[in-house]
Structure 1
Amino acid sequence: MGTPTPDDPEAWAAYLAEGNARQARKRVAADVVIKDPAGRILVVNPGYKPGWDLPGGMAEANEAPEMAARRELREELGLEMHTRGLLVVDWVPPHGPWDDQLAFIFDGGVISVDQANSLLPHDAELIEAAMLAPADARQLLRTRLLPRYDAALAALNDGQPRYLNDGRPIS
């Protein structure tokens, strides 16, 4: 018996489902760079891990990365916004107990001074949020995030999204 074909829709669907079940699954992280009119960058301090982060988080099953970023902003900070484009995609290899992942950073645009001044964590995942000068934000961010952060700022400056492999540019 050979491989099913689309001529037998039931057998074809079962064949595709079996193949899908065997495919690798990727974790997906989706963060956002958000600025205020003074050029300060929003960073957040998660209570469940050491170090500061960009706002965002992990995508849920079958959730698009930009939708995950928007959901996380709404849940954690009460911010309703649209992303303005892709800045970075980084393939992160397995590390510690974690499988590999794709880490996205999106451009969240510029929020108003009033929005920036009223930012407060809306759930228990975050301890605090702050708008900081880019260099000051960089000092607080987790070391593993720094190459993505630097690439995101470069992409904001020149309009060219970056693809990284474990934080390193692919030439």
Structure 2
Amino acid sequence: MTDDEERFAYLAEGNARQARKRVAADLLIRDDTGRILLVNPTYKDHWDLPGGMVESNEPPRAAGVRELAEELGLTVTAGRVLVLDWVGPHGPWDDQLVFIFDGGTLSPAQVKSIRICDPEIGEYAFAELTEAKSMLRPDMAQRLARAHDALATGVTDYSE
């Protein structure tokens, strides 16, 4: 074995032992009146922002865009990170990183083109901020409020 091969094997062994994080990537998307796009997953009790879980070795921004296309047939360019949260272990779940990206504002034509493409999504809706927060789980409502503030301030919100 060469020195390069030994070093690679050493690094690969270390990589295999390091912690892996679950990562979720959601998008804050608005219509031209500022209402927020929400989805109602069939496997959860509350509405959610569009997005989902990041696959192995997938960039979070790309995952949010992929999930949106898979769920609602929409293609957007995900902008800057509005919120990044570390969520500690709870219940059966290990810790997790949750990203919310700016998904931009949809044109009326884009809004009309939305179609549910994934059986995990039962319905979608656009809602004003106050109504949207009431439809979400409390932790997601808080994230949405922080993401909405980050849109206005230009400052990414990080929390643990």
> Same fold judged by TM-score > 0.5?
yes
- Which has the higher Rg, Structure 1 or Structure 2? 1
Q: CA deviation at 1:143?
A: 1.5
1:145 CA drift (Å): 1.0
Query: Where does residue 89 of structure 2 map in the other structure?
Result: 94
- 2:76 aligned partner: 81
Q: CA RMSD in A?
A: 1.1
Gap runs ≥5 in structure 1? 1-6, 166-171
Structure 2 segments unaligned to the other structure (5+ residues): none
- After the TM superposition, which residues 9-158 of structure 1 pair with which residues of structure 2 at under 5 Å, given as runs? 9-158=4-153
How many residues of Structure 1 are paired with residues of Structure 2 in the alignment?
159
Structure 1 runs of 4+ with >4 Å offset: none
Distance, in Å, in 2 between the alignment partners of 1:121 and 1:142 is: 22
Q: Is the 8 A contact 1:116 1:131 kept in 2?
A: no
Distance 1:57 1:18 in 2: 30
Shift of 1:117: 3.6
Deviation at 1:134, TM superposition (A): 1.1
Equivalent residue number for residue 3 of structure 1: none
**Alpha-carbon contact 1:120-1:128 (below 8 Å) kept:** no
- Scaled by the length of structure 2, the TM-score of the pair is 0.96
